[in-house]
Amino acid sequence: MSDHKFDIPSKSPTALTPGAKIKFSCHKGISCFNTCCKHADITLAPYDILRMKKRLGLTSAEFINQHAVPFEMDGDGLPGLKLKTDDSGACLQLDGDAGCGVYEDRPTVCRYYPLALLTLREKGSSEAEERYSLVEEEHCKGHEEDREISIADYRQEQGCDHFDDLNRDWYQLLLKKKSAGPGVGHPPKTSLQLFFLASYDLDNFARFVQSDNFRAAYDLSADFYREIAEDEVALLKFGFRLLRQALFGEQSIPEHECAWEDRMEKRKPIWEARQAAEREAYVRDREARMRGGDG
């Protein structure tokens, strides 16, 4: 199952609209059943992880450790996760001849197959458009089945809408990051760490958002903290907003007025110690050079 989900930045001649029809069917009994899952290359989106960790009864950190492998999504080290496979490339969720062991909670890429979702933006447009490309792999016999279906109906049949609705802001974020200028294109390490936390490690992100430091920095209501404690989807959506603020400076989350000054005040002793050490090193270096000149 090849993965082309997050990777096409410009309009391609093969980009299909929701009304386009494909000839495809996959079902138990087809000669290639499960073959695609034996060659799985599945990039995970945030809501995929939320669903699968719940299904498997794991925390987000346990899910990441046991069922995911990291990769870099771009040249700036933007962290991505793929579903883990065994040494032969087979997805660990494959349950023998029964097929997918997490079918109702399977990731977005699996739902779309043999389509890939393309999030595109026309030059000069601020609006992203969703288009699709057809993936035709030699092993897949689904294309030979006698069923024609529109992409819109196929997406509905596979339950793609709900997953896309919850991941859409994240896809937009990736697209904006990709098309942004170099100033935004090379985020600092702390922003990349926040990206990982908010996108994938939701349980630890919840702890981070509920921490005293976070509460001291952002001006958010008690209702907000109650809501995100009870609703992981609300937490996920908040995480996407926070990432936009951290990566692109979009101020949608109010900060406490003196949060910056407070942070500066706390760091002052560290900076002062560092400056003193640098001054001492400079003086030592100059004295050593002068001694060398004398000799």
Angstrom distances, CA of residue 86 to CA of 38, 46, 68, 113, 290:
9, 22, 11, 20, 63
Contact between 50 and ligand SF4 (CB under 6 A)?
Answer: no
- Per rule CB under 6 A, is residue 209 in the interface with ligand SF4? no
φ and ψ of 229, to 5 deg: -75, -30
Amino acid occupying residue 190: T
| In the complex, minimum distance from the CB of residue 280 to ligand SF4, in angstroms, rounded to a whole number | 58
Q: Tokens in use for 239?
A: 């995480």
Q: Is 32 in the site for ligand SF4 (CB under 6 A)?
A: no
Our finding on whether 78 is near ligand SF4 (CB under 6 A) is: no
Check binding of 106 to ligand SF4 (CB under 6 A).
Answer: yes
The structure tokens listed for 210 are 């509920």
Element at 22 (helix H, strand E): strand 21-23
53 in contact with ligand SF4 (CB under 6 A): no
Q: How far apart are CA 42 and CA 33, in angstroms?
A: 17
What one-letter code names the amino acid at 80? G
- Provide the greatest CA pair distance for the chain: 92
Nearer CB in complex with ligand SF4: 37/173 = 37
Using the rule CB under 6 A, is 110 a contact of ligand SF4? yes
Q: Does 1 bind ligand SF4 (CB under 6 A)?
A: yes
- Of 102 and 206, nearer to ligand SF4 (C-beta) is 102
Distance CA 224, CA 235 (A): 10
82 is an interface residue for ligand SF4 by CB under 6 A? no
How many residues in the shown chain lie near ligand SF4 by CB under 6 A?
Answer: 12
Which parts of this chain interact with ligand SF4 (CB under 6 A)?
Answer: 1, 37, 40, 42, 91, 93-94, 100, 102, 106-107, 110
